[in-house]
């Protein structure tokens, strides 16, 4: 009967043990759970074995069950202790566990082989006495050793539990209390058994059954294996941040995969210590380190005891990848700055716009008032003109703002049409020329011959781009040159990449502003350019348009020296044929510039009143390297009854003065070889004759201060070339007073310019030569014809001299030749050629070789065309 009860109890115990196993196993396993599971397995094995033992009927079966039971018994306590240590975060050195593990395993081996020796059991026999047949075992030395260790472990476990029970509160306290009972009961049973009170029945398995029941209760009712623990472990394992945990003595307890990857030295025993020192060098610490282009923040903190903050249990380092956060923060700061900048730009734009609008509006209102209050028709016309101009300015402003809003809303679409780049350039140039001329700037343009004749694209918007760049160049340039050039860069699939270059010698753009000038509402040097009208929208529109044409725009600039804008656009090619190069300068804008030049070169000559005087018998020498100039001078002198002698160089002059004493000498200041100044000083050295002859400098340099310079050099006076008759007359009167004779009024010969005369010079006039001025300059038609002849005869020599000196790099000679051509051309009325020569002379003086090389063809072409026009007349 008792046996049956015991047996039923045993079987119930096996089931309980099994249930305990199930309830633990069904929870997701954390490290702690795994340990508990192993402990419970061991308990289960020992109960199962004891059940088998009491149900066995033979000695062998019983011994076998006993041995099987020890497989569980040897380890159960050890694993419970381990679980306890994990659960309560108690630091039990691994070595202690390992030693017990080894000891118990050795014991298990001894037990398994117990029938071969007497170490564990001195004797083993079957007994039929008592409640049921059982095996009688006489305990050997190892038995007592194992039992002592088991009791020790149990005591340790219970003590640890009780200590923790004391510390904790609430549900934790209850859990630990149950845990300590789970240890106490089997411990108590074992002690009873060892005392020998219960000889036949081993109560320990019963104790284990009870402890399993308590554990099941603990797990299910008090949530012993709370998922939080598991969650914590998962978080640590799966976090993208690195985690390193050290014990209080700086030994590595744990490092997750991220940390190991970031600090691979942790994985190597020899480098670990150094790496740990590096990470934990300050405590606490917040530091940023860069690893392979990413930035990480290391936060080191201490793990303190919950109950005693002074007790450090270890150290923890979190390593956060801050790359994204940093990048995100930087981006946010940048966006904020940009938003602030845009806001500022808009505010300044509004302020600017209101100023821009107010200026023309003020003018419109003011002039309207004047119109209303003034009855004079002429004045009213002027006022209305001003109103018209102001309205135009307003219109530009409104159009720009409209353009911007169209572009911003994506409403601008390109309308492609067939067009010729040459014609387009002509249109753009003729629109901008008045502004350029008004500022007395030099303007040169060039369409390279590679550009195809017919293109397809949005002509209107290209004109917009060109006009904008050009008008900026004019606005921001006070003096110098503006260059406008279009060339082909690349040709691909019937498309051409064109480059529009606008270069100026204006104020330039500071390096730090170069990027922003293409931004909306951006204007620079506003104080400096106060008088320059603008909205800061032009270049931003140009950039948008260029980008719509798959192109780009860039700027090169030297602050204070000038800027170069380079816009590139793709255009469709309609006619592959190359066009002719189209080049020129603002001297080509014939009507306007000729008028201007004429005034500059000839002054008010047309209105002069010449006195009818003659200087018969006067001995006059004219020295000039240029035949044309000589002819002009001799023609003019003839008007005063003077038959001048001519010398073509300084040497010729010196020879002449040795033979003859002159009343006056006119000497060109700039001559190749011996120039005017040198000739003069040599002349003065010659003792006899001409020592005191007045020498008048002739120069085509109309610069201020030249006269003073000439007088300082020892000349007696100075005359500009082409000679002004009034000035010439004054010089003659001043130096040849004694020879002067007054002519009767009737004999006075005024040079007129009848339609009939014009007819004789048709080819010249067609070429833009101001024949009337030329005739006047040369002192009459007869001498003009001679000068023309000399001009043509002299041309090959002159052209050769120019090209040779250029080839040889003799820029002094080149400058002298250009200088001579300047006055020779002016003398015949070829003002454009004169102006081109002037620019070459200027470039020569400044050694602007690039300009000379680039424009040389232009000079020679114009020279050739003039000669041709004269020859045509002669033929
Ligand atoms: P704005 O109407 O003010 O001329 P833009 O957008 O055309 O506006 O030009 C923006 C700014 O770029 C100008 O205010 C000026 O400071 C600078 N800029 C443009 N073109 C030139 C140039 N050719 N030389 C010097 N500065 C220039």
pLDDT tens-digit profile of 809-822?
Answer: 888 889 888 988 88
Rounded Cα gap, residues 429 and 431, in angstroms: 5
Q: Which atom of ligand 1 is nearest to the CA of 535?
A: 2
Distance CA 263, CA 275 (A): 7
Give the mutation target among 477, 505, 509 for probing the ligand 1 site: most ligand atoms within 8 A of CB: 509
Q: State the sign of the Cα–Cα–Cα–Cα dihedral 219, 220, 221, 225.
A: positive
| CA-522 nearest atom, ligand 1 | 10
Ligand 1 shell residues, CB under 6 Å: 472-473, 476, 504, 506-509, 517, 522-525, 534-540, 563
In the block, residue with structure tokens 């800061």? 536
Whether 451 and 518 have beta carbons less than 8 Å apart is answered as no
589 C-alpha vs ligand 1 centroid, how far in Å? Answer: 26
pLDDT of residue 103: 93
Best substitution site from 476, 510, 511, 519 to test ligand 1's pocket, by max atoms within 8 Å of Cβ? 476
Closest CA to 246 of 290, 288, 279, 291: 279
DSSP per-residue letters across 529-591: TTTS---S-HHHHHHHHHHHTT-EEEEEEETTTEEEEEEEEEEEEEEEEE---EEEEGGGSHH
DSSP character string of 54-79: HH--SHHHHHHHHHHHHHHHHHHHHH
| Closest atom, ligand 1, to C-alpha of 537 | 6
Ligand 1 atom closest to 507 (CA):
25
pLDDT on residue 756: 67
549 with 541: CB under 8 angstroms? no
Nearest ligand 1 atom to the CA of 468 is 7
Mutate-to-test residue for ligand 1 from 475, 517, 544, highest number of ligand atoms within 8 A of CB: 517
Q: 760: burial class by Cβ within 10 Å (0-12, 13-18, 19+)?
A: middle
- Atom 14 in ligand 1: which residue has the minimum CA distance? 523
CA nearest neighbour of 622 among 585, 663, 579, 574: 663
- Asked if 359 contacts 386 with a C-beta cutoff of 8 angstroms, the reply is no
* The two structure tokens encoding residue 82: 């381990």
Only one residue has tokens 């917040």, namely 286
pLDDT digits 0-9 by tens, 555-567: 999 998 899 999 9
Q: Is 292 exposed, middle or buried (0-12, 13-18, 19+ CB in 10 A)?
A: exposed
- Cα–Cα distance measured from residue 344 to residue 475, given in angstroms and rounded to the nearest whole number: 25
Percent of the chain that is helix, strand, coil (3-state, to 5): 60, 15, 25
Adjacent-strand bridge partners of 563: 504, 557
Q: What is the mean pLDDT of the chain?
A: 82
* Phi, psi at 547, each rounded to 5°: -70, -35
Q: At what angle do helices 811-828 and 627-638 cross, to 10 degrees?
A: 40
Q: Which two tokens stand for residue 619?
A: 């001995």
pLDDT at 350: 73
Q: Which residues contact 733 (CB under 8 A, 6 or more apart)?
A: 613, 740
Quote the CA–CA distance of 411 and 434 in Å, as a whole number.
Answer: 33
In contact, 274 and 353? CB cutoff 8 Å: no
Say how many Å lie between the CA of residue 539 and the centre of ligand 1: 7
Query: According to the model, what pLDDT value does residue 701 have?
Result: 64
Asked whether 559 and 509 are in contact (CB, 8 A), the reply is yes
Q: What is the DSSP letter of 724?
A: P
- pLDDT score of 47: 82
Candidate of 469, 472, 502 to mutate for ligand 1, largest count of ligand atoms within 8 Å of Cβ: 472
**Ligand 1 atom with the shortest distance to the CA of 540:** 6
Name residue 614's beta-bridge partners: 741
DSSP lists the bridge partners of residue 490 as: 497
Gap from CA of 560 to ligand 1 centroid (Å): 14
Stretches in the chain below the pLDDT threshold 50: 588-594, 596, 604-609, 746-751
Token pair recorded at residue 186:
């089997």
Tokens 């509402």 sit on residue: 521
What is the residue with the minimal CA distance to atom 23 of ligand 1? 473
Strands 312-321 and 294-304: antiparallel
What is the predicted pLDDT for the residue at 592? Answer: 41
HEC per residue, 81-109: HHHHHHHCCCCCCHHHHHHHHHHHHHHHH
Q: Cβ neighbours of residue 258 under 8 Å, at least 6 residues apart?
A: 239, 240, 241, 242, 243, 319
User: CB of 569 within 8 A of CB of 457?
Assistant: yes
514-530 burial code (b ≥16 CB/10 A, e <16): bebbbebbbbbeeeeee
């Amino acid at each position: 009967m008792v046996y049956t009860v015991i047996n039923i109890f045993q079987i119930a115990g096996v089931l309980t043990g099994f249930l305990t196993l199930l309830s633990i196993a069904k929870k997701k396993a954390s490290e702690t759970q795994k340990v508990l599971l192993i402990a419970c397995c061991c308990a289960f094995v020992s109960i199962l074995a004891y059940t088998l033992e009491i149900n066995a009927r033979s000695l062998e079966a019983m011994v076998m069950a006993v041995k099987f039971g020890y497989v569980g018994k040897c380890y159960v306590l050890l694993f419970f202790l381990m679980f306890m240590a994990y659960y309560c975060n108690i630091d039990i050195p691994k070595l202690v566990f390992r030693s017990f593990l080894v000891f118990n395993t050795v014991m298990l081996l001894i037990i398994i082989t117990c029938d071969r020796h007497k170490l564990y059991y001195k004797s083993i026999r079957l007994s039929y006495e008592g409640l049921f047949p059982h095996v009688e075992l006489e305990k050997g030395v190892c038995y007592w050793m194992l039992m002592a260790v088991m009791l020790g472990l149990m005591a340790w476990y219970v003590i640890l539990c009780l200590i923790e029970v004391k510390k904790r509160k609430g549900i934790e306290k209850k859990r630990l209390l149950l845990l300590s009972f789970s240890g106490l009961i089997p411990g108590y049973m074992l002690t009873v058994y060892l005392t020998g009170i219960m000889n036949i029945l081993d109560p320990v398995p019963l104790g284990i059954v009870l402890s399993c029941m308590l554990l099941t209760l603990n797990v299910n009712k008090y949530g012993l294996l709370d998922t939080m623990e598991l969650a914590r472990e998962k978080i640590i394992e799966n976090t993208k941040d690195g985690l390193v945990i050290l014990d209080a003595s700086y030994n590595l307890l744990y490092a997750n995969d991220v940390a190991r990857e970031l600090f691979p030295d942790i994985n190597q025993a020899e480098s670990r210590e150094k790496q740990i020192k590096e990470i934990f060098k300050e405590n606490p610490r917040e530091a940023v380190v860069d690893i392979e282009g990413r930035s990480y923040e290391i936060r080191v903190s201490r793990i303190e005891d919950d109950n005693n903050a002074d007790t450090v249990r270890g150290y923890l380092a979190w390593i956060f990848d801050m790359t994204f956060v940093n990048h995100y923060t930087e981006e946010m700061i940048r966006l904020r700055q940009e938003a602030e900048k845009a806001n500022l730009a808009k505010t300044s734009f509004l302020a600017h716009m209101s100023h821009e609008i107010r200026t023309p509006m003020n003018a419109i209102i003011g002039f309207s008032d004047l119109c209303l209050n003034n009855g004079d028709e002429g004045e009213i016309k002027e006022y209305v003109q001003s109103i018209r101009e102001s309205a135009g300015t307003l219109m530009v402003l409104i159009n720009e703002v409209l353009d911007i809003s169209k572009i911003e809303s994506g409403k601008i679409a390109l309308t492609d049409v067939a067009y010729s780049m040459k014609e387009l350039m002509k249109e753009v140039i003729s629109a901008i020329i008045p502004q350029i001329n008004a500022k007395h700037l030099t303007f040169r343009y060039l369409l390279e011959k590679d550009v195809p004749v017919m293109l397809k694209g949005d002509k209107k918007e290209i004109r917009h781009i060109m006009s904008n760049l050009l008008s900026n160049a004019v606005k921001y340039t006070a003096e110098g040159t503006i260059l406008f050039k279009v060339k082909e860069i690349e040709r691909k699939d019937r498309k051409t990449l064109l480059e529009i270059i606008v270069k100026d010698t204006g104020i330039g753009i500071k390096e730090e502003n170069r990027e922003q000038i293409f931004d909306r509402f951006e204007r620079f040097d506003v104080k400096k350019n106060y008088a320059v009208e603008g909205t800061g929208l032009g270049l931003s529109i140009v950039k948008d348009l260029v980008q719509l044409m798959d192109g780009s725009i860039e700027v090169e600039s030297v602050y204070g020296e000038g800027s170069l804008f380079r816009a590139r656009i793709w255009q469709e090619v309609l006619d592959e044929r190359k066009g002719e190069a189209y080049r020129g300068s603002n001297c080509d804008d014939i009507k306007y510039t000729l008028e201007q030049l004429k005034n500059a070169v000839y002054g008010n000559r047309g209105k002069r009143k010449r006195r009818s005087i003659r200087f018969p018998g006067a001995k006059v020498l004219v020295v000039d390297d240029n035949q044309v100039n000589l002819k002009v001078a001799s023609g003019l002198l003839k008007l005063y009854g003077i038959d001048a002698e001519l010398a073509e160089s300084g040497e010729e002059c010196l020879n002449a003065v040795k033979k003859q004493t002159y009343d006056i000498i006119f000497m060109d200041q700039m001559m190749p070889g011996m120039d005017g100044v040198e000739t003069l000083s040599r002349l003065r050295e010659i003792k006899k004759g001409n020592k005191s002859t007045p020498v008048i400098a002739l120069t085509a340099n109309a610069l201020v201060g030249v006269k003073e310079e000439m007088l300082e050099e020892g000349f007696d006076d100075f005359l500009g070339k082409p000679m002004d008759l009034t000035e010439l007359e004054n010089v003659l009167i001043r130096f040849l007073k004694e020879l002067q004779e007054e002519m009767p009024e009737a004999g006075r010969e005024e040079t007129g310019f009848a339609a009939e005369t014009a007819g004789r010079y048709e080819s010249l006039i067609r070429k833009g030569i101001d024949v009337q001025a030329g005739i006047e300059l040369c002192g009459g038609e007869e001498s003009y014809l001679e000068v023309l002849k000399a001009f043509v005869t002299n041309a090959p020599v002159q052209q050769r001299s120019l090209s040779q000196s250029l080839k040889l790099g003799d820029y002094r000679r080149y400058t002298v030749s250009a200088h001579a051509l300047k006055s020779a051309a002016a003398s015949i009325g070829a003002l454009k050629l004169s102006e081109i020569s002037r620019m070459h002379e200027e470039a020569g003086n400044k050694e602007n070789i690039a300009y000379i090389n680039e424009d040389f063809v232009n000079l020679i072409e114009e020279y050739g065309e003039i000669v041709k026009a004269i020859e045509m007349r002669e033929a």
